[in-house]
A and B are shown apart, each in its own frame.
Chain A
Amino acid sequence: MKKAAITNPPKWPLSVLKIFIKKDYLEEIQGDMQEVFEDDLEVFTLKKARRKYVWETVKLLRPVLTKKLEGTQKLNNYGMIKNNLRIAFRSLIKQKEYSAINIFGLTVSMAVSMIIILFLIDQDQMDEHNPDADRIYRVLTEYDDEVKERVVASATSPFELRQLLEFNVDQVEETSQLVKGAGNVKFGEDVFSYGGLYVSPNFLKFFDFELEKGDKKNALQNVNSVVLSAELAKKLFRNQEPIGQLVEIDQHGSFSVTGIIDKTLVRSHLDFDLLIHEEMFSSVSSNEILLTNWEASSKNFYNYIKLKEGYSKKPLLSFLKTMDSKFPEEKQALYDFNVQLLSDINLGRLVGNEIGITSPNFVLYFFIVLAAVLMLSSSFNYMNLSIARGLKRAKEVGVRKVIGAGKRQIIVQFLVEAQLVMFCSLVAAFLLLQILVPIFNDLKILRDIDGAITMNFNSNLSVYFVFLSFSVAVGLVAGLYPAIYLSSFKSLKVLKGTTNAGKSPSFLFRKILVFCQYAFSVVFIITSIILYQQANLYANVDYGFTNKNMINVPISKKIPYESFRNELLKRSEIEGVSAVSSLLIVSSFEEVLLVNKNVSEDEVKSATLSIDPYTVENLDLKLLAGRNFLTTAVSDQKNSFIINEKALAALGYTDADQALNQSIDVIKVHDTGRKIAEGKIIGVVRDFNYQFVFLESGPLVMNYDPAILSSMNIKTGEISSAYAAEIIEEVWKEFDDVHPFEYETYAYSIADIDDEFGELVHIIGLVAFIAIIIACLGQFSMVVHHVQLKVKEIGIRKVLGSNLGSLMFMLSKDFMIVILAAVLVATPLAWKINDLWTSKVYLSPDVSFFNMSLGVGIILLTAFLTIFFLVRRAVNANPVESLKYE
């Protein structure tokens, strides 16, 4: 008996047959199959017999034997859907203005949402090319910053951690470590600067980078090999074959090129021009402390851990928990480690010391909210209009119900209608997208974060799927309520003609929708007004120094400052030349601590800058007291400082003259210790902005250290910048005939930063504009509908002697209340939101009453005008016309 049990054929083919084979044939065929199986068993093994049985089953699925499609459920529905679509088309065409309003609003907001979806999909793709992206983790160092009173995370972690993890955690399969480096790379006479990475030899395999040229396996095995980005290789070698060439890298000596990576092919959070072996790092950094001191080390190394397949990050985390003990005793409580999945690096947590440019997750939330608000607003329009229109179609619903349609069928019919509208909008939005994407990609912000959308839809068909499901989802959201509402009409009542629009609960619902739309608009418009003012403020800010007619040129070995300066000044067009270690506004500044021992031991944070003696005059800095640096006095180069007013106050002086010739300590804090420079204050200058206006320009201490001057500020007379550049280039050629002359006008460099902000303002302004338009369209159609319902009432009132004013009031009262309520609720909200960000930005406009009322005024004005014109048209109509018609 036991044998019989296991000699049965598999069961599932029978159920397959039941589904597909015609009922009449089933018994016979099942019997045949059983018999054949038994025959097979005598010849073959059980396994083979079963296999044959399955195969025979498959071969039974022939047209003659299988069920026909006709007469099944599907076909009936097909007819119904066809009918629904036809009705949907007809009502779409019948009410052209409503359809146009709907489709227009939906199209615009869909196009914007699609761009956002594309952008996010694109950003999400980053590092996804790596097949192991779901088991590679980056170790983060979390530091409890007492000054900022929050935990800050850094993408870096200590050097020694890598080996500790590799040896002590069994689940670790492989690790990789990176250090950032920068310098110059030289080939023949050409020198280019690079930002590169010192990497473990397994780098290419670990991060799954394909080489355009060269052998992926061995490219980084040798300490003297270098892998270049295709971009840098093109600059260095132009059309020559790069592989095998020798290049000189600052500090490291000569390297042979073993690989070329085309970085445009893969999207990775790693950003580099070249890769060299990690050994090279230790060869230049003789600083043992950087490797062994965990505090210093934790700011420099990037550790990536690949876990064995199928393991969770838990053991890794619990091991990292024990690693705090490596930090100095008193700081252990402040440090912590965490990990971050490779695929979560982009659009993930905001961490410091990031290796390349990534978008943190709040970018994601910001865009999603933006898209959701627009989409909701236009969906509300759809709901509103469908309900309004539905009253006209009440008879249709009634007749359908009398004929025998169920509630479900009517719901389906209205949902199909919604889907059709959505689909029309989707197609239109898709066309709009073709225009919008290039504009979007041209945004400077995007270029900076490498965020341009690659519009290669064909290679990524899932994008179509996402769009389609997006529009279906919007259709469901927007269509469901109207469908349920409309399908609930009682046929008897409707056909008697007693449905009263004004009193039904849907009117309240529609009011809520309009309320939401206007609330969104208010928030958007107030935000964009304030942002606009912020942008204006930035554009017109008085920096406190001259940047007009100024051209910045970097100082290099071939362009020595002093002699270059002398040559330039021989030209009559050049009015002045000076040099600084960091360009004001454009560059960042090193931070130092100031101590005024005469007053207290308190350390004051300050920025520091090196200038030459000509700077004060050239940039038009105002000396309040004391003197400028002297070109002749060598002592000025080390021990003299000029401070600004803020530093003066921070050091405890009230009067500029009081501080002169007082000694202060300027302390530079390094990872490895402090370097103290003692010196005297020789001058005080009026405060000027050296930071970009987002940030406050605080205390500043300036010294004169010719060795670290890096950029020249060249002031020209009233001539065009192109002409000025030509003059400078002539001088440049005398010094350096290899490198092309590169320059930037100061105004341009500043405007460059300004532009990004301006773009943000434009984007938000545009969204505000769209939101208002959509809200107005919704308002428009609601008023039109409302007035249509009351045509007779207006006629009768006019005949009985109502005047224009009271009619206007009667008709617009309801809408005014809704809009005023929206304004009342949204204004404080807008105030709160804007207050939140302006309080974080230095030099921001006041979130003042004026700004608020300007925004509110625009909203109210557009709303009132819409209502006014529509109502006036209705009121001015001849009452005879409206009453005659019955």
Chain B
Amino acid sequence: MKKTKLGEFEELVLLTVAVLGEEAYGVEIKRELENRLNDTLSVGSIQSALKRMEQKGFLTSEFGEATGKRGGKRKRIYSATPYAHQVLKQMKDIRSQLWEAIPQPITSFQVI
């Protein structure tokens, strides 16, 4: 956790990769995220996040089959590594612990 940091946007992309499973390639990830975030994203931002995480060891990738679509270019399918799952889990735990640590606001008035 300390050694390799995972940025907020990277975390979102990583989670999307995990969600999409076999379908996790560049544009599909972009579509999924755009839907969920209700915002437009550039190919560049997605791609750079993917490459960075691949370098950090969160992702592995391999080429898919070439089809008539995409101008005959192959897709690169990404999948999250076990290490990534572990880190994601850790982050979720830390977050939920923190959420629980927030003092509860007073929900009702007491009559003295």
* Interface residues, chain A, with chain B CB atoms under 8 Å away: 25, 27-36, 39, 56, 59-62, 64-65
Contact = CB atoms under 8 A, between A and B. Distances in A.
Interface stretch (B72-80, B88-96, B102-110): B72-80
Interface string B29-58: 011000000000011110110011000000
B48 A64 contact: yes
A32 B78 CA distance: 14
B71 interface: yes
A39 B27 CA distance: 10
A6 B71 CA distance: 15
Contact of A59 (B25, B42, B74, B75): B42
Interface centre among B31, B45, B73 (most CB of A within 10 A): B73
Given A29-B43, A64-B52, A36 B71 contact: no
B52 A35 contact: no
Main secondary structure of the interface of A (DSSP, over half): helix
Given A28-B76, A35-B27, A65 B71 contact: no
A31 B74 contact: yes
Given A32-B43, A62-B47, 18 more contacts: A25-B47, A27-B74, A29-B26, A29-B43, A30-B71, A30-B73, A31-B70, A31-B71, A34-B71, A36-B27, A36-B43, A39-B31, A56-B43, A56-B44, A59-B43, A59-B44, A60-B44, A64-B47
Contacts of B76: 28
B82 to A, nearest CB: 24
Nearest to B69: A35
A60 B43 contact: yes
Interface of B is mostly: helix
Contact of B26 (A28, A59, A61, A62): A28
8 contacts: A28-B73, A32-B26, A32-B27, A32-B43, A32-B70, A59-B44, A64-B47, A64-B51
A31 to B, nearest CB: 3
Nearest to B71: A34
A27 B71 CA distance: 10
Nearest to B46: A32
A61 B42 CA distance: 12
A28 B48 CA distance: 12
Contacts of A39: 27, 31
Given A28-B74, A36-B27, A59 B45 contact: yes
A25 B71 contact: no
Question: Lowest 8 CB-CB distances: which A-B pairs, in order?
Answer: A31-B73, A31-B70, A59-B44, A32-B26, A60-B44, A34-B71, A64-B48, A28-B76
A64 B47 CA distance: 9
A36 B30 contact: yes
Contacts of A35: 27, 69-70
Interface string B15-32: 000000000011100110
A65 B44 contact: yes
Nearest to A60: B44
A60 B51 CA distance: 12
A30 B27 CA distance: 11
A37 to B, nearest CB: 9
Nearest to A63: B48
B75 A31 contact: yes
Contacts of B63: 28
Contacts of B75: 28, 31
B89 to A, nearest CB: 26
B42 A56 contact: yes
A252 B24 CA distance: 91
Contacts of B25: 28, 32
Contacts of A25: 47, 51
Contacts of B52: 64
A65 B47 contact: yes
A65 B49 CA distance: 10
A34 B27 CA distance: 10
B41 to A, nearest CB: 10
B73 to A, nearest CB: 3
A568 B75 CA distance: 110
B70 A34 contact: yes
